[in-house]
Structure formats: C-alpha cells, structure tokens
Amino acid sequence: MLIKNEMTAHYWAFGVFLFGALGLCVFMLISGYLLGGRAQTRSKNLPFESGINSVGTAKLRLSAKFYLVAMFFVIFDAESLFLYAWATAIRETGWVGFIEAAIFILILLVGLLYLVRIGALDWTPEQSRRLRRAGPLVTGPVIQSNSEA
C-alpha cells in the first residue's frame, strides 16, 4: 500500500509541475500580447541590427562547401562528446577502453585525411587551383639583374 501511495505522489508532483510550466508559458504569451505595443509603422517592420540600417537582401547564396564544413564540424563535435565521456570513465574502462578510444580516434583521423585528400576542405576557387597546379607562368624573356651576373 505504501508503494502505491508513493507512486501516486510522484504522479501528482509531475502533474503539478507540468500544469505550472504550461501555465507560466500561457501567462507569458498573454501578458506579452496585452502589454505589447500595437503601433504598426514602416520602420517597425524593418530588421534592426545594432543601430545599423540593413542594406541589400538577406537571401545570400552560400557555397555548398560551407554546408560541408558545417557538417564536418558537427561530426567532429559529436566525436568530442564521445571522447569526453570516455575520459570521465577511463578508470572503469581500463586498457580495453583505451584501445577502443584509440581505434575510434584512428578511424576519425583516417576520415579526416580522406577529406583533405579529396579536397573537401579546400576553399580555393577552381581557377586558382588550376593555376597553382600549372606552376609559374613565364611570358617573356628572363632578365637577369647585375647582382646575379
């Protein structure tokens, strides 16, 4: 009987918490609506950034490489979470955990080297890469200075 009363108390506590959280959200939304300004002018609908008037459009065309780098960041950020969890439990995992973490890091390092190898992290435009591969371009006769002669 004691366990049933205890479970009922937990459910009631959760219900009160949920009711309070929802009530607070509704209260904040309604009070913002009631207390907020209602004047609609042209300048109120413009974006405002630290006192600087916006110029141009917000629709920028970003290169697909930006999204690749963002995805790489998320992947390597998630791996740091795994390594942090491993580091906090290093005493419990012992050498087996160390070897597993070393294999994990090695696999990620191989993936990073592959990305560098295929040029996924290279932001240089294609034209500059072609010129760099072609080497120095000599267009006229080479003139030697007096110090070299």
**pLDDT tens track of the chain, all 149 residues?**
667 788 888 899 999 999 999 999 999 999 999 998 777 777 777 666 666 776 777 677 777 777 777 888 888 888 888 888 888 988 998 999 999 999 999 998 898 888 888 877 777 767 666 766 766 655 556 566 565 54
**At 53, which helix (H) or strand (E)?**
strand 52-53
Residue 79: CB atoms within 10 Å = 15
pTM over 0.75: no
Per-state percent for the chain, helix, strand, coil, to nearest 5: 65, 5, 30
Spell out the alpha helix ranges (H) of 49-125.
64-88, 90-118
